[in-house]
Amino acid sequence: MTQHKSDKKLTFAEKVAESISKNRIALWIILIVLVVLTVVFAVVDKNIKDTNNMYSNKAVELQKEFQDWFSAQEEDKEAAEKAFLENVNPIADSEKTSILVEKALFIRGQFYMQKEEWSNADADFSRIAEI
C-alpha cells in the first residue's frame, strides 16, 4: 500500500514555519553577513568622520597661524611667518587632493598676496583651480 499525504491545507503560519525550518542554514548565513556588513559600515563611517574632524581642526589651526602672522608686531612677524610656513607647506605641497590641501593652498595664497609675492600666490590659486 502506498501512503498518501493528507490533503490538509497548511495555514500561512505553518508554511512560513516550514520554510524557515527548511532554510535555516541559509537564513543564519544571511543574518551573519548582515551583522558583519553593519559592523564594517560603522567602522568605515567612524574613520571618515575622524578624518573629516582632523581636516577641520588642521584647517582652523592653519587659519589661526595665518591670523597670528597677519596681526603680529614687526619684531614677532618673522617668527610667526616661519611657524606658519612650517605647518602649511607640507600640506599645501602634498600631491594629494583633499579639502585640507585646497584650504592650505588658499591660506598660503592669501599669505603670499599680503607679502605681494604675486607669482607664488598665482601658483597656489591656480593649483586650487586645477584640483
pLDDT in tens, 68-100: 898 988 888 889 999 999 999 999 998 888 889
In-domain check, residue 67: yes
pLDDT for the residue numbered 110: 95
Predicted confidence (pLDDT) at residue 2 exceeds the cutoff of 70? no
Q: Is residue 3 a part of any domain in this protein?
A: no
Q: Is residue 7 part of a domain?
A: no
Mean pLDDT, rounded, for 36-51 = 94
Q: Is residue 41 part of a domain?
A: yes
| Number of domains forming the structure of the chain | 1
Question: Which whole number is the average pLDDT over 12-38?
Answer: 90
Q: Is residue 105 in some structural domain? A: yes
> Does residue 6 lie within any of the structural domains?
no
**Alpha carbon separation from 97 to 11, 70, 102, 103 (Å, rounded):** 61, 27, 7, 11
- In percent, how much of the chain has pLDDT > 90? 56
Instruction: Find the mean pLDDT for residues 15-42.
Output: 92
Q: What is the pLDDT at residue 7? A: 56
Quick check: pTM over 0.85? no
How does residue 1 score in pLDDT terms, banded at 50, 70 and 90? Answer: very low
Residues 6+ apart with CB under 8 A from 99: 55, 59
CA distance 37 to 28: 14
Provide the residue range defining the domain that includes 112: 12-130
Q: Is residue 66 part of a domain?
A: yes
Structural domain includes residue 56? yes
